[in-house]
Structure 1
Amino acid sequence: MSRPAVPPWLAHALRTQRGPVPWSAVIRGVLAAGPLLLAGVLAGRTPVGVLAAIGAMLAGLNDRPGSRRAAVRRLGLPALAGALGLLVGTCAGQGLAAVPLTLALTGLGLLAGGVSAIGPVASAAGTQLLVGAALGAGMPAAESGWQRALAFLAGAGWLLVLRLALPTPGSLAGDFRFDGERAAVAAVYDAVAALLEAVGGEQATARRAALTAALDHAQDALAGPRLRRYASSAAERRLHARYAAALPLAEAATALFWAGEPVSARAAAGPRRLAAAVRDNTATGPLPAPHRSAPALRALDDALLRAAEAFDRGKPTDLHTRRRTAGTLVRIALGAGGREYGLRVALCFGAGAAVAQALHHTRWYGHHQHWYWLPATAVFLVKPDLGPLVSRVLCRAAGTVLGALVFAGFAAVLPRPDGLIALVAVSGALIPVATRHFAAQTAVVTVLVLSLLMAGGEPQASVSRIGETLLACVIVLVVGHLPMPGQRGGGVRARVAAAGDAAQAYLVHVVSRSQDRATRWTLRREAYRALAEARAAVVLAAAELPPLARHAEGADEIVATLERLVDTTTACAVHLDDSGRLAARHLDRLAELLAEFEEGRERTALRLPGLPLAG
């Protein structure tokens, strides 16, 4: 007898990410929140130390593997938003009554939700803005809003300083400032080699997706602030040139993947040597050339020659920059996805604040004076970045219960404040490991926050925090299933429409036979990146409960068609470079895919715009 399949929403809740332990992030976690709390206690300013430690903790949730320059934006922008939220929340909490305060927080949730639709960094910034506002409004204290904001910003800034200053393990042999960038660019060449090895096999499609992910990661790693306005050091110039040299290699490998004919092992040897040269910051040495028996193989050979030259004396370029204007970002925030998510965030945050304030004046709250926990919990629960709705609700509830029980046990035996400071330091070290599963992350954060609050003078509050978390889970579940103005599935529709626009722009550029290869590679990058974002949104929507998942039915087929269309466009570009014209099989395949897109668009419930070239 076959076992019944696990529902997607439950399978997601049970899934755990794997990978090596990020020891450098663990060390930063030990040196962040705990020492900041200790400094506040020793200085007689414990509340300030608590806020600084909270700032470091929230920054630690965004402290992911990558380059130092990318960490400036990934940690810094959310920290600035959190400090602003603390300032606004403190001023609103001190100057407004309960009903106007709830309305103000609801409006702030609408703004933060729309901004969160722009991307991961914007989502983290929106989250910290609302968490900071809840803390500021729900934690009455003697400090002014400016003092609180500065303390929070100092805590996050301390973790950012640690991220920029401390070398990662194994990077001391070279210029450790660029170890993250070197690893990201080397991963691109490894991904090209892996795709070439898999051409014609069952793993080829997965390897092509892995190449896109590696290019996205390298693009982000190089897109942070430079040491100066222009790449000023030899190391920076080499990294920019080596990333740019990988783009034509990726294009040729994708064209070979589209053709589906296996290539010799010799073809992958060159990219492997280039990856080793980037990783070790050494010269390439002789590169084995592939056979030049087909247009894509000739393109691969030419790209290897250009890469060898770029490794020696390549000029820096700006090909790594995502070309999204302020107007584009505003359109994303105000589009269907931003509006739908903004409304849900506003309702969850506003309802959480209203219920928390109502309970604050009842006996249920007892001696607990602060009501921030419920709306702050709702902010994390409403984030689709953390998984499908039911999955993250289950993980949040389980993690909070476990964390509260663990803390209650420690609080009964640990000395104060020394034991609580040690518990904060240990929890900070565990956060980088616990981010592999939302329930584990929630448990560790719960222990850390309860430790901070008790160190700041609050009584032991494990039971009430469990109750508030469960209330937040109910609120988010209800709001998550409410009908909204307009069509459901706005987030998925926006991502798929953006992927269609990017694929269209890339196809138009290629079939126009433009000789501007730099623009072509930039458009190709944007098309594959938009497709990866659309694919992630579709997978997430498919793992929701059936009442929500049905609103995105058919989107996976459309994304798959667009992926094949962009692959075919890449093969067309390589063939045009080689022969100056398109073969009949290219034209037939393009027509077939455009027609397939139109058929899928008519069947799906997303009501996507068509591609003009489909006619």
Structure 2
Amino acid sequence: MSRRPLLDLPPWLAHALRAQRGPVSWSAVVRGALAAGPLLLAALVLGRVSLGVVAAIAAMLAGINDRPGSRRASVKRIGVPALAGAVGLCAGTYAGQYAGPVPLTLLLTALGLLAGGVSAVGPVASAAGTQVLVAAAIGAGMPLPESGWQRGLAFLAGAGWLLALRLALPTPGSVGGDFRFDGERAAVARVYDAIADLLDAAGSAHAEDRRAALTAALDQAQDALTGPRLRRYASSAAERRLHAQYAAALPLAEAATALAWAGEAISPRAAAGPRRLAAAVRAQSPTGPLPAPDRSAPALRALDDALLHAAETFDRGDGRRDLHTRRRTARQLLAAVLGRGGREYGLRVALCFGAGVAAAQALHHARWYGHHTHWYWLPATVVFLVKPDLGPLASRVLCRAAGTVLGALVFAGFAAVLPRPEGLVVLVAVCGALVPVATRHFAAQTAVVTVLVLALVMVGGEPQASAGRIGETLLACAIVLVVGHLPLPGQRGGGVRQRLTEAASAAYAYLTHVLGEAEAGAGAGAGAEAQGGDRAPRWTLRREAYRALAEARTAIALSAAELPALARHTAGTDEVAALLERLVDTTTACAVHLDDTGRLTPRHTRHLGELLDQLEEVRELLGPTVPAVPRLPVAA
């Protein structure tokens, strides 16, 4: 009997109370401690405190983007937003110097429209959009003696310092070995572990969750391996080997998905091979003998052949296969910016950011309000609140308000007892170390960042400003709540529907490719020859389909946790995503069966037909850009 929760909380409140789980990245904690604090100390020694404050802010923002993963992925994850932030800081500085309150508000609103649209492209683009707006507000409002280009260079230096720490420092526990690829190695090993977990769950109620976990592991490994080379040439044997080991996992994942789709339990012996492969990846060693699974069914034969191929790849050790991925073209990126999601996102960000700038400018120039040096706090806070990447709107507002109040009160206590500036520098270093831990919950992250920012402001020579920070954060929360619920032109939930449309297009492209193989009589066995380049396009399409579905699922889950007034606009999309997932699972089972027999069974075509009929009935939720439903072949 299942245990019911003590409190049946509404989704928007439950999300606000939920924290991420997982191990603490102690290497990120060390990098955080060595980032903003030492930069600020060096600036104090050199007598350039204002530039040190800018560099420390950049290091703090880079620390927020310093997530677990590979070193090569961190170059894009940290570097691209830092470049955007430097540009925004320069632009905001010159706009603040030469534009009056009204032109400045209009310029920053237009920048918000552009940054919001770009944020719809993906996580890195969203982080870049956040930093360009935050930095533009800081540049326009922070009173510093340096020119715009000097501030921009200081910003790049601060973010570049943390990135250099990320690339140079070894991960704890890997000292003495080749730690350059520890992130990639761990990600590839998790793929093999996820394959084994899915095989163990075949025929059980946990199979669907394990398949989703396998998709997440493959996405993380793909991200870890795609990025700038850590050496000029692909001459590192370790680097080539990891690419080959990832590629060898794709047919294994395909066979495991087909076995889970069949819904029948299999022998525990089948999962032993992938677990040994995971151990071999971590230990950088050959696999040794692998237990062969039963070959009584097409999917089991595919699993056995994929294990043999993987063993050959591991034992060969020189990795001859590279990663097959598709880059988004400039036209596709522009379509994402100008699509339904990009337009809705950009308009809402522009309205919120513009309203924040206008309110801050009005308070800044109001005689009754008194001295208002930090007017940039209000629009900068609005930027973080309007970002759906950080959670549903109500959850963001609640967490931001609670975190700011807590952080401001904590800082007020520290400011009363700490010596200046030495004690504040130590406080900045401690907060930098806490940022990677606090990213588990938005309220905790807000509290840590609030303490850090208030300390930086005081080091820069400003008086204690906890009360102002609380007041303007609450005003920003009110602005975002109002604008977030305004009725705007077009259909609400555009971001979710855009993700769902992309997932449907990817699923249909994958199905069309597999059906093309069926019509061409492809599938002459899944042996060593079948693992060659002719299967690479299919694996690429399969990865794109599952990845697009995972992104759509994330967007749908966030939308479902909004207040009812917003959540109702995406009602029913979760069921459509579930249909698409079953379609991709069935397509994978068809592909494995085609490899073995060259034709589909009535069971396969029946399942495909039922799923396509159901998707045709909900086509209005997918959008007009979804291609036509593929034609099914007649079963043999």
Q: By the TM > 0.5 criterion, same fold? A: yes
- 2:415 maps to which of 411, 416, 420: 411
Aligned to 2:628: 612
Aligned to 2:360: 356
Moved more, 316-325 or 8-17: 316-325
Letter in structure 1 aligned against 2:148? G
Aligned to 2:185: 182
1:547 aligns with 2:565: yes
Aligned to 1:163: 166
Aligned to 1:275: 278
1:556 aligns with 2:574: yes
Tell whether the 8 Å contact from 1:365 to 1:464 is kept in structure 2 after alignment.
no
Aligned to 1:527: 545
1:476 aligns with 2:480: yes
Aligned to 1:490: 494
Structure 1: runs of 5+ lacking an equivalent: none
Aligned to 1:440: 444
Aligned to 2:556: 538
Aligned to 1:244: 247
* Whole-angstrom CA distance in 1 between matches of 2:290 and 2:329: 40
Displacement after TM superposition at 1:363 (Å): 4.4
Q: How does 1:38-437 map to 2 (within 5 A)?
A: 38-228=41-231, 230-313=233-316, 315-363=319-367, 365-437=369-441
The percent identity for this pair of structures is 77
Moved more, 173-182 or 244-253: 173-182
Displacement after TM superposition at 1:465 (Å): 0.9
SS in 1 for 2:172: coil
Tell whether the 8 Å contact from 2:512 to 2:630 is kept in structure 1 after alignment.
no
1:566 aligns with 2:584: yes
Tell whether the 8 Å contact from 2:501 to 2:623 is kept in structure 1 after alignment.
no
Displacement after TM superposition at 1:319 (Å): 2.9
Letter in structure 2 aligned against 1:561? L
- 2:454 maps to which of 435, 450, 454: 450
SS in 1 for 2:411: helix
Tell whether the 8 Å contact from 2:71 to 2:167 is kept in structure 1 after alignment.
yes
The C-alpha deviation readout for 1:476-518, integer Å capped at 9, x for no partner, is: 1111111122111100000000000000110000000065310
Letter in structure 2 aligned against 1:482? L
Seen in structure 2, the aligned counterparts of structure 1 residues 272 and 285 have a Cα distance that, compared at 3 Å, is: same
Tell whether the 8 Å contact from 2:202 to 2:265 is kept in structure 1 after alignment.
yes
* Whole-angstrom CA distance in 2 between matches of 1:213 and 1:143: 45
Q: How does 1:489-508 map to 2 (within 5 A)?
A: 489-508=493-512
* Whole-angstrom CA distance in 2 between matches of 1:414 and 1:31: 20
The C-alpha deviation readout for 1:237-295, integer Å capped at 9, x for no partner, is: 10000000000000000000100111101100000000000011111010001000000
Aligned to 1:512: 516
Could you state the TM-score of these two structures normalised by the residue count of structure 2? 0.95
Displacement after TM superposition at 1:601 (Å): 3.0
Structure 2: runs of 5+ lacking an equivalent: 523-533, 632-636
* Whole-angstrom CA distance in 1 between matches of 2:367 and 2:286: 72
Displacement after TM superposition at 1:4 (Å): 5.5
* Whole-angstrom CA distance in 2 between matches of 1:31 and 1:172: 18
Displacement after TM superposition at 1:329 (Å): 1.1
SS in 2 for 1:512: helix
* Whole-angstrom CA distance in 2 between matches of 1:511 and 1:175: 44
Seen in structure 2, the aligned counterparts of structure 1 residues 453 and 423 have a Cα distance that, compared at 3 Å, is: same
Aligned to 1:589: 607
Extract structure 1 runs of 4+ deviating beyond 6 A: none
Displacement after TM superposition at 1:403 (Å): 0.3
* Whole-angstrom CA distance in 2 between matches of 1:612 and 1:226: 39
Displacement after TM superposition at 1:229 (Å): 5.5
Displacement after TM superposition at 1:458 (Å): 1.1
Displacement after TM superposition at 1:21 (Å): 1.7
Displacement after TM superposition at 1:610 (Å): 5.0
Seen in structure 2, the aligned counterparts of structure 1 residues 2 and 397 have a Cα distance that, compared at 3 Å, is: closer
Seen in structure 2, the aligned counterparts of structure 1 residues 2 and 127 have a Cα distance that, compared at 3 Å, is: closer
* Whole-angstrom CA distance in 2 between matches of 1:371 and 1:210: 44
* Whole-angstrom CA distance in 2 between matches of 1:146 and 1:328: 33
Tell whether the 8 Å contact from 1:112 to 1:126 is kept in structure 2 after alignment.
yes
SS in 1 for 2:170: coil
Tell whether the 8 Å contact from 2:505 to 2:626 is kept in structure 1 after alignment.
no
Aligned to 2:29: 26
The C-alpha deviation readout for 1:44-80, integer Å capped at 9, x for no partner, is: 1100100000010000000011000000000000000
Seen in structure 2, the aligned counterparts of structure 1 residues 537 and 479 have a Cα distance that, compared at 3 Å, is: same
The C-alpha deviation readout for 1:543-596, integer Å capped at 9, x for no partner, is: 101110010011000000000000000000000000001111101110000011
Letter in structure 1 aligned against 2:387? K
* Whole-angstrom CA distance in 2 between matches of 1:456 and 1:366: 20
Tell whether the 8 Å contact from 1:568 to 1:590 is kept in structure 2 after alignment.
yes
Tell whether the 8 Å contact from 1:182 to 1:279 is kept in structure 2 after alignment.
yes
* Whole-angstrom CA distance in 1 between matches of 2:319 and 2:63: 36
Displacement after TM superposition at 1:315 (Å): 3.7
Letter in structure 1 aligned against 2:218? L
Seen in structure 2, the aligned counterparts of structure 1 residues 175 and 526 have a Cα distance that, compared at 3 Å, is: same
SS in 1 for 2:440: coil
Letter in structure 2 aligned against 1:210? A
* Whole-angstrom CA distance in 1 between matches of 2:456 and 2:78: 21
The C-alpha deviation readout for 1:424-457, integer Å capped at 9, x for no partner, is: 0010010000000000000000000000011001
SS in 1 for 2:618: helix
* Whole-angstrom CA distance in 1 between matches of 2:539 and 2:327: 12
Superposition RMSD on alpha carbons, in Å?
A: 1.4
* Whole-angstrom CA distance in 2 between matches of 1:245 and 1:62: 30
Moved more, 554-563 or 137-146: 137-146
* Whole-angstrom CA distance in 1 between matches of 2:55 and 2:514: 52
Seen in structure 2, the aligned counterparts of structure 1 residues 311 and 26 have a Cα distance that, compared at 3 Å, is: same
Letter in structure 1 aligned against 2:240? R
* Whole-angstrom CA distance in 2 between matches of 1:170 and 1:247: 29
Moved more, 89-98 or 514-523: 514-523
The C-alpha deviation readout for 1:320-372, integer Å capped at 9, x for no partner, is: 53432121111111110001000011011111011001101224643332310
Tell whether the 8 Å contact from 1:191 to 1:211 is kept in structure 2 after alignment.
yes
Seen in structure 2, the aligned counterparts of structure 1 residues 244 and 2 have a Cα distance that, compared at 3 Å, is: closer
Moved more, 164-173 or 365-374: 365-374
Letter in structure 1 aligned against 2:198? L
Tell whether the 8 Å contact from 1:222 to 1:320 is kept in structure 2 after alignment.
no
Moved more, 54-63 or 478-487: 478-487
* Whole-angstrom CA distance in 2 between matches of 1:111 and 1:206: 37
